[in-house]
Each structure stands twice: as structure tokens, then as C-alpha cells.
Amino acid sequence: MHETDMTKALILTVRDWLAEQPGHPAIEKVHLTVGEFTCVEPASLQFAFDAQTQGTFLDGAELVIEETPLIAFCHRCQQEYRPEVGLQYACVSCQSPMDDIRSGRELRIGRVEFSQKAPSQETPRKTPSQETSYAPNI
Amino acid sequence: MHQTFDAALEMNLLHANQHGAEENRDRLNKWGITCLNLMSSPGSGKTQLLEQTLQLLQSELRMAVIEGDMTTQLDADRLRQHEVPVIAINTGRACHLDSKMVAGGLHQFAHEQTPQDFDLMFVENVGNLVCPAEFEVGEHAKVALLSITEGEDKPLKYPIMFREADCLLITKTDLAPYLDVDIENIISNVRQLNSKVVVIPVSAKTGEGLESWCDWVKQFVSNQSGAAKNLVTAS
């Protein structure tokens, strides 16, 4: 279950970012890009995210996963092609090895969406550094 | 009024692990140690290969091992019989070593030994064909093992490991007469994914191919330490 570790990494990255922001923004969505040619299963990641963010500053935030397809470029044919994961990786036209991957290796936190309360309405709230319910061990 | 804002992070999800891996590599470079990360599914023969390798190279290279195992010390105990320092890391439920665990192993190694006296560090990863491929630990090269009993299609089914490997050992070749496996098919499946990987069929039982493997290791260590010296001179 390396998705658990990946989720921890995700939470820590967002927490570090949040700690540098003025005010107390509330994270609403986290956008993640997951390539087809990685060892990550988006459904497991979604499950891990929902479970591991409970009771933390990300509780209730939505994880939006964009999946990117595996696309390779064949230098001999000078064209892109779509390898079939599990079956065929060499160029479909000339059988050259899959040397150049153009898409599908992404594991990237793209952007976050957050809301900022107006200062007058602000209610006291724990800052991320004071969170005690999430104790990462990575 | 509820207003939503956007901020671009554009960060690799494995950024923290990657950063730790680079720190480990810097540390190893300063000590003049080359590090090889051995990865395969459980039971493909990593420990047996290491036992033979430690034996064959003991007069030429000063070696140590970081041994990743989910719960036991069994493999570490086997390797300790060859009189090399073995740092055992129990990963618990984690299915791979990450750079932080290996950093802990290097710390212990530095505490117990004089690291500058060593040339080569093997990291024996947890047996798993999926996860270790995504988690760099600070190695200079990745060595994948695939035993012929696992079947010809494994490189196609577990592509990342074979794509990332610098050297692939096809192990247990002594069993070939008993199996309907064509080693050439394994190699051509790997080549679809990785045109540069060095493929060496070996049998730790009969010794077949071990000389080629040891030659590859010695050559790699020698190139690596040459590169590290140049780096030091240049800076």
C-alpha cells in the first residue's frame, strides 16, 4: 500500500505550503495529476486521502485526480504512439523500444483551491502547525 | 462572501523522498562509496545472489549491505556469515525502502564503521516488483532481478521496475531445462521498455554468469569512483 505513503507526502506538502500563507485559508480542493505509467492506483489514492485526512486541516477537502495517458515518441518514425500497458510498449509501426516517454510518468500536485475568510468574520482556528491529530512519521 | 482562490504548487508528489535520496547519494559520494539498489519480487534470489557476490568480490572490494525486510532478520543473518557489515532495516508494513529509512541505515553504518574504508554498498530492497521502483533511496544504479520461474511476461506486467533498471539479472537459469521458458523472450520483452539495460543471465547455484555480473559490478564501481573524483576536483 504505497498509496498511504504517497498520501502522507501529499498532506505534508500541502501543510508546508499552507504554513507559509498569510491568514488562515481553508483548503477546498487539491488537484493531482497521476500518469498511467506509474505505480499509483488513483482509486486507492482517493480512498487513502479520504481516510488519512479525517480530523486534520484537510478534513472535508476534495482530492481531484487527473489521469494522463501513456504516450511515447518514436524517433525513427518521428511520431507519437500510445503503448498498451501490460501488452505492448515498442513502437507499433517499427518495433523500436519505448525510449522517449512524453506523458504518463506524472505524479504531480498541480494546484490547490482555497477560501479566505474576511478578517472581521474570522473565528479562532488552529493553524496547521498546531494540529496534533495528524502525526506523520515520514 | 465566499470566495475561492487558486494557487499553483506544481510539485512532484515524491519530492520529499527524492530530496532525501539526493542527500543520501551526496553522503555516499563523500565517503567514496558506490551504492547499488537490488530489487525484485520475493523469492527471486536476491539474498542468494548477494551471498555469492560477497564471496567472489571480497578480495577486491570492501563491501557492506543495507538489508530491507518487512519483519525478520533472516536475510541479514545469512549475509552476516560473510563477514561484512549488514545494517538490517525492518520496514514493518511498508512494502519498500524509502530514502528516509536508508538515511537511518547510513547513519547507523557511519556510527559503527569507518565509511571511508568501503567501496560498495548493496541495498537489498523489500521483495516487491511494484513499489520500490518509484522510491529512490540514493543509489547510483538500480539492479533488477527476475527469476525464470516467474515467467516471460513479467516485464510487460510490471513495466516500471524494468524500465528503471540499469542492470537486469535473469536468475535461476539452472532451472531452464525443467521449464517452458525462453530466456530470449524475457530479454525481448525487457528491450521493448528499456534499450539500455545490461542483461546478464545467472545461476547463483551453479555459478553460471556470476563472473559477468561481478565484472559489471567492478566496472561500475570503478567508473563511479572515477566520476566522483572528477567531481571533487572540479569543485
Q: Show residues of chain B in contact with A86, CB under 8 Å.
A: 156-157, 159
Q: What are the structural domains, with CATH classification, of chain B?
A: 28-222 (3.40.50.300)
Tens digits of pLDDT across chain B (235 residues): 678 899 898 899 988 899 999 999 999 999 999 999 999 999 999 999 999 999 999 999 999 999 998 888 888 999 999 999 999 998 887 788 999 999 999 999 999 999 999 999 999 999 999 888 889 999 999 999 999 999 999 999 999 999 999 999 999 999 999 999 999 999 999 999 999 999 999 999 999 999 999 999 999 999 998 876 666 555 5
Return the bridge partners of A84, or none: A88
Q: Show residues of chain B in contact with A109, CB under 8 Å.
A: 9-13
Are the beta carbons of A89 and B13 separated by less than 8 Å? no
Are the beta carbons of A112 and B157 separated by less than 8 Å? no
Number of C-beta neighbours around residue B158 at 10 A? 20
Nearest alpha carbon to residue B101 among B140, B130, B135:
B135
ipTM value of the model? 0.85
**The overall pTM is greater than 0.80:** yes
Q: How many residues does chain A have?
A: 138
CA-based end-to-end distance of chain A? 15
